[in-house]
Chain A
Amino acid sequence: MKKRLFSKPFIYTILILYAVITFIPFLWAILSSFKSLEEIVSGITFLPETFTLDNYIQIFSQEPLFLRWMFNSIFITACMVFLNIIFNSMAGYALARIKFAGRKFWFFLILVVLMIPFQVTLIPSYLILKMFGWLNTYQGLIIPGMVNATFIFMMRQFFLNFPKELEEAAQMDGLSRIGTFFKIVMPLAKPALAAQAVFIFMSSWNDFMRPLIIMSDEEMFTLTLGLNTFKGQYISFWNLIMAASTLMTIPSLLIYAFFNRYFIKGVTFTGGK
């Protein structure tokens, strides 16, 4: 340990420098969102000269659809998280615990699906959604994404190591498979479900390409699309754009602040896969 003493200041320098590099774009965006337009165009100031909340108020008054976009994003993300948690866990549980004919085949299929880049299914999925009349609808975005092969795989691994005794006891007491699953197994799987939830939240909240293709009506836009449109309409009104960006990022940051250990767990799972 003593031999490392020499390099310690060096290590701290690297880490602090990189922390600053990571932090500056966020800080810059947030600070700018509190500046007036005059200050934005007149050149570079770091801290706002006159601190103003006008930008945040203006977003909602000038872009009446902003609230709608927020609602769309929240609604779609909430549905995605809820459905994914239940369906991925059900599939993972079946693949790990229930001995049914064709189980190996379905597991193999999940592994294959994991390798398929989603761009190849994009155009046909669009045509299928068109045939269903689901373009420009919530279900068009939610239903195709309501299960996720990565998390089915993760839940299967989780349930393989899950103690069997509890389920057996529950079945002795006359609970059915479904009853056992929802009343006994799911409550005990909370940490795995939380890791799943944060990742589904992030991928749905931040998704850009799928909403871009499926939603054509501005009223149906999610926040990511809305933000892009907003940027196009208010070019050079960077104070407003930064305020909108900040608003959009706050939910992610809050969830990250509260659940950051699940993020790390989820990433290391993806890594260990």
Chain B
Amino acid sequence: MDPMKKEDHSQVFQKRGSKQKKQPRRPKKVRSKAFKEGFSGYLFMSPTIFTIGIFVVIPILYALYLSFNDVQLLGGIGYEFIGLDNYTRSFDDDRAMIALKNTAEYVFIVVPVQTCLALLLAAALNSNIRGKNAFRIIFFLPTVTSSAVLTIIFMWMYNPDGLINTILAFLQMPTYNWLADPSIALKSIMIMNIWATAPFFMVIYLAAMQDISDSVYEAATIDGANWWQKFIYITIPILKPVTFFVVVMGVIGTFQLFDQSYIFSGGSGGPNNSTLTIVLLIYQYAFKSLDMGYASALAVILAIIIMVVTLIQKKFFGEEKLHD
């Protein structure tokens, strides 16, 4: 294996070398040094090239191929080219529309709420108070806990006679059937995930806030601004790029909701499809109905949505950050 690799890299290198015409004339010693660099460069990169090649690059091309085929998984794998049928089929698929609607509702509610909550908590932590670190460590706890464990703990708290309903009843507030009522189930997941993700974004906000120079605030204090005014007129405008980043990361993350709805509904997306998300639907088609062509088409659509969001973020925010 090893000598093979060596040959391979030298070929790649020499091809490039001869392209740039200047190199062949160099003294022998420099050339062998350049060769050594090329060799060690590819040696260091080889695990990455291997893994990303086989498990990212090839799969992407393969996913596109699958999405244009009717795939049969009996014994071997059978392909039948059907053009865009898998893509057009998704428009007539009721469950796909339900999954899209659920996912969109989830994104539109969770992202704004968790962003505001993160900003508020970060602002509170960034003021001149004691025990800042202790609060931060506690707030961050849900982020390090597995989504499976969190979902299971919440399912128990959401039980009809569980902790949450008991507290609500004690406070004379209405109680809900958090797990089994189709109009509530998705909201139960929303509450849980806002609770679990907001602290992660809080840490990002907090780091950015600590970079804002004190002199800006001092000037405002002299002008008689109070805490709230400073927050609204100084902190929020300065943090605009961070907010943009947090929103985009939030959108990407929420679009990929899977673990929680899978565990919540035992993989079905129920009750009555109310917790069915796009990724859960892809999972069901690919690994339950073994309809891998159609599932791949849905995955490609999801990837396109997510990549468009990411590209927008890179365009507005990523570039300037990369160059400083």
Contact = CB atoms under 8 A, between A and B. Distances in A.
Chain A interface secondary structure, helix, strand, loop or mixed? Answer: helix
Nearest to A1: B128
A177 B40 contact: yes
Given A23-B138, A123-B292, A271-B203, A98 B40 contact: yes
B42 interface: yes
A94 B146 contact: no
Contacts, number: 281
Interface in B226-248: 226-228, 242, 245-246
Interface stretch (A54-62, A188-196, A261-269): A261-269
A227 B256 contact: no
A119 B296 CA distance: 9
Chain B interface category by residue count: 35 or more
Nearest to B314: A115
Chain A interface category by residue count: 35 or more
Contacts of B242: 271
B60 A28 contact: no
B295 interface: yes
A260 B282 CA distance: 36
A19 B47 contact: no
13 contacts: A8-B127, A29-B156, A87-B48, A100-B37, A109-B52, A110-B48, A113-B56, A116-B303, A119-B303, A124-B58, A128-B54, A255-B144, A264-B207
Interface of B: 12-13, 16-17, 34, 36-45, 47-49, 51-52, 54-60, 62-63, 66, 77, 120-121, 124-125, 127-129, 135-150, 152-154, 156-157, 159, 161-163, 166, 195, 199-200, 203-204, 207-208, 221, 226-228, 242, 245-246, 252, 255-256, 258-259, 262-263, 266, 279, 282-283, 286-287, 292, 295-296, 299-300, 302-303, 306-307, 310-311, 314, 318, 321
Given A122-B299, A147-B48, 19 more contacts: A11-B124, A15-B121, A18-B121, A22-B142, A28-B153, A44-B163, A91-B48, A100-B42, A120-B63, A120-B302, A121-B60, A123-B292, A144-B55, A202-B144, A208-B258, A224-B148, A228-B263, A253-B144, A272-B207
